[in-house]
């Protein structure tokens, strides 16, 4: 009856989801990730064939699996990138709790697959590494706690995050997985720093981490063996580090040629932890610099967009996600050139591994969602220009 008297109420036309997403998402970051995935498939064609041959499997068995996992990871990334920050926060917290339960279960039902560390769960014939999914969830819940602590009458979020950090690192050290532990501690430090922590406190945390490293060196044979190998002035040419160093030297600036590399036949982890050695040998320094540039674009672009963000949670979480992705790439490549001890860490979107690439998709999907342009960002730009 009301409509008959006064006429129908006008409804504001809303922009469709996909055009709005495309207009607001960081297309530089999106393009860089797609290029990294393409490079990963290209390197997988070379690096995984010897492994398939040793396991009596079809030549491109692992490449096909990487493509399947990669498509799943990209679908997750695109889906999460369309979510609002509130939904990202809820999904991140739920995902963290589920991943933490699985990490806690590893000492009982986990497997080591001959790697010397119990990091994997076998579910329906698929190996799952829960620590990969723990990282983005930990960043989200830490950012939420520290953002809540800044509210008047808010909870002691910083103290709770410290306790949570100790629990997570403790269970990761039991595997042992000191590489992921270092990433978790680093992400917490980044978020704490962006939240306004004093440098003295951050220095104290760094000292505690160094002291924990000394304890781990004396109590873990797995950890001590890797540190001793890193500190040794001579590199055994028959070890993975020796093969990788030789491959990088052989590649030079332009590489030895597509498919002509030999390191993939000697390195057991050429398709995962040492994929950058295959890239350096066959394609040379040029491709390595391209990979470095692509990761640099993702991190720098994300941090630049977050500087205009007023919401505390979004700024903290986005900074943590961007930095943990960049540092994981840096650690992987640093190990290959012997700048860092061996960590058993993959190169996001490039290395083979289902857990790794899907978890990377989750990380970047959340990052893209948090760095999307919002109306308040546009207003801030307009006001800035007028000044």
What string of DSSP letters covers 18-64? HHHHHHHS-HHHHHHHHHHHHHHHHHHHHHSHHHHHHTT--TTHHHH
Portion of the chain with pLDDT greater than 70, in percent: 83
pLDDT in tens, 289-320: 999 999 999 999 999 999 988 899 999 999 99
pLDDT in tens, 99-140: 999 999 888 887 876 666 778 787 766 788 899 999 999 999
As a whole number, mean pLDDT of residues 22-36 equals 95
Q: Do residues 360 and 136 make contact, with C-beta atoms less than 8 angstroms apart? A: no
For residue 289, give both structure tokens: 């610099």
Domain ranges of the chain: 25-370
User: What is the model's pLDDT at position 5?
Assistant: 47
For residue 234, give both structure tokens: 């001579």
pLDDT in tens, 51-102: 888 888 888 888 999 999 999 999 999 999 999 999 999 999 999 999 999 9
User: H or E segment at 121?
Assistant: strand 121-123
The burial class, CB within 10 Å (0-12 / 13-18 / 19+), for 242 is middle
Does residue 331 register a pLDDT over 50? yes
For residue 362, give both structure tokens: 């989750």
How far is residue 273's CA from residue 119's CA, in Å, rounded to a whole number? 15
DSSP 120: B
């Amino acid at each position: 009856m009301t409509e008959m008297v006064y006429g129908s109420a006008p409804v504001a036309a809303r922009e469709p989801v996909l055009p709005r997403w495309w207009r607001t998402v960081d297309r530089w970051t999106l393009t860089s990730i797609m290029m990294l995935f393409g490079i990963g498939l290209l390197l997988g064609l070379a690096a995984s064939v010897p492994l398939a041959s040793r396991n009596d499997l079809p030549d491109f068995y692992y490449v096909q699996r990487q493509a399947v996992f990669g498509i799943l990871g990209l679908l997750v990334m695109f889906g999460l990138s369309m979510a609002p920050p509130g939904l990202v926060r809820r999904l991140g917290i739920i995902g963290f709790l589920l991943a933490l339960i699985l990490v806690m279960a590893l000492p009982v039902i986990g497997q080591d697959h001959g790697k010397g560390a119990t990091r994997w769960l076998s579910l329906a014939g698929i190996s799952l590494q829960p620590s990969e999914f723990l990282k983005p969830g930990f960043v989200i819940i830490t950012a939420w706690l520290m953002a809540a602590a800044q509210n008047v009458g808010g909870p002691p979020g910083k103290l709770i995050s410290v306790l949570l950090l100790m629990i997570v690192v403790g269970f990761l050290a039991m595997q042992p997985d000191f590489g992921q532990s270092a990433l978790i501690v680093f992400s917490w430090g980044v978020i704490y720093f962006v939240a306004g922590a004093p440098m003295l406190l951050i220095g104290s945390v760094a000292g505690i981490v160094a002291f924990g490293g000394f304890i781990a060196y004396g109590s873990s044979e797995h950890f001590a063996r890797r540190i001793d190998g890193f500190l040794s002035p001579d590199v055994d040419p028959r070890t993975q580090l020796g093969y990788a160093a030789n491959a990088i030297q052989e590649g030079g600036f332009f590489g030895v040629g597509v498919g002509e590399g030999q390191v993939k036949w000697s390195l057991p982890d050429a398709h995962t932890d040492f994929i950058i050695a295959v890239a350096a040998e066959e394609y040379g320094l040029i491709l390595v610099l391209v990979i470095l540039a692509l990761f640099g674009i993702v991190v720098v672009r994300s941090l630049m967009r977050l500087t205009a963000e007023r919401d505390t949670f979004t700024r903290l979480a986005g900074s943590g996600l961007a930095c943990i992705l960049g540092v994981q790439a840096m650690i992987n490549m640093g190990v290959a050139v012997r700048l860092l001890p061996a960590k058993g860490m993959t190169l996001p979107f490039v290395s083979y591994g289902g857990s790794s690439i899907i978890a990377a998709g989750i990380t970047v999907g959340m990052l893209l969602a948090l760095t999307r342009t919002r109306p308040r960002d546009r207003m801030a730009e307009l006001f800035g220009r007028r000044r």
